[in-house]
Amino acid sequence: TDLRVAVVGVGIMGAYHATALAFRTAGARVTVVADPSAERAAAVAATVGARVATDAREAIAADDVDAVVLASPGPAHEEQVLACLARGVPVLCEKPLTTESASAYRLVRAPRSELVQVGFMRRFDTEYRALRELAVSGEIGAPLLLHCVHRNPAQRPAFDSTMMLRDSLVHEADVTRFLLGEEIVAVTVVRPRASSAAPAGVSDPMLVLFETASGRLVDVELFMRTGVAYEVRTELVAERGSAVIGLDQGLLTRRAGGAWGGALSADFLERFGPAYDAELQAWVAGAGGPGVWDGYAAVAVCEAAVESERTGERTLVRLEPR
């Protein structure tokens, strides 16, 4: 019998999850869809053969729901995750787990918090998995540095410096923890001259430096309005070699018309679509994935980054005991 899933929040991400669950995931079907926009909920529900709930609470409490995908905005997550845990149903919560470390830590401490998986889909991307295998294999020696590039072609004006750090940098925080296997202890945000594409007061691009517990360094370029493409690259530098992922999308290099080149990903669904599908399939199968601690640790890093962006100072990450 299929796992009956409620999808809460059907913006771009939730709509993608709903169709992936309905048409590309074994062992699951979508029974309920909820969204503040009744129109959007109805459209997605019709596509996947589900019914519409009046609100998130009703969806989470419904009798025909065994598990929940939360793709609502970060500020809504705490209450919704707690409702799932109170009912004892597994929940796949999109990143960020919450928007402040205090609320994320409340989820760490909540009874049955092992039922939470956080939507860090890069952990299910074949390139990131290969990079991690290389990092832990010892083949190129001990990892020393990561260079990360995270570029979006465009963002809405409301995507300000804080959102860049909470919603986009959060992926690099998790990738760092995933690849290096240790916590990030300090964050420094540097603001170069802003792009003319950045709204007034928004620090776009930014450079961010993570320091890990054992003293490794990770630099991140966050640039949300390049006007070019969706580009995510990570280079690992180790004692006897280095490796990079995300350089070529699709690897097809065409030579024609007096030029050579290939296509770039237009958006995160194109780049990470297969990773999202793998993430959902693993979640439905109960195979395990990033949990509530991973979600909390990444939120704590982003919170330090928000403070560093404001003060210009190197900022320590405050992590409660595990």
CB of 106 to ligand ISE, least distance (A): 23
113 vs 265, beta carbon nearer ligand ISE? 265
* Total residues at interface with ligand ISE (CB under 6 A): 5
User: Pattern of binders to ligand ISE over 141-160, x per CB under 6 A?
Assistant: -----------x--------
Using CB under 6 A as the binding rule, whether residue 276 contacts ligand ISE is answered as: no
Q: Compose the 237-266 pattern: x for residues touching ligand ISE by CB under 6 A, - for all others.
A: ------------------------------
- Of the candidates 23, 17, 27, the one whose C-alpha atom is nearest the C-alpha of residue 276 is 17
| List 160, 167, 303, 309, residue binding ligand ISE (CB under 6 A) | 167
Based on CB atoms, which residue is closest to ligand ISE, 78 or 94?
A: 94
At closest approach, how far in Å is the CB of 155 from ligand ISE? 7
Stretch of 78-86, 166-174, 199-207, 243-251 contacting ligand ISE, by CB under 6 A: 166-174
**Nearest distance, CB of residue 268 and ligand ISE, angstroms:** 4
Q: Does 31 bind ligand ISE (CB under 6 A)?
A: no
Report the residue from 123, 171, 177, 216 that binds ligand ISE according to the rule CB under 6 A.
171
Residue 268 as a binder of ligand ISE (CB under 6 A): the answer is yes
The contact set with ligand ISE (CB under 6 A) reads 152, 167-168, 171, 268
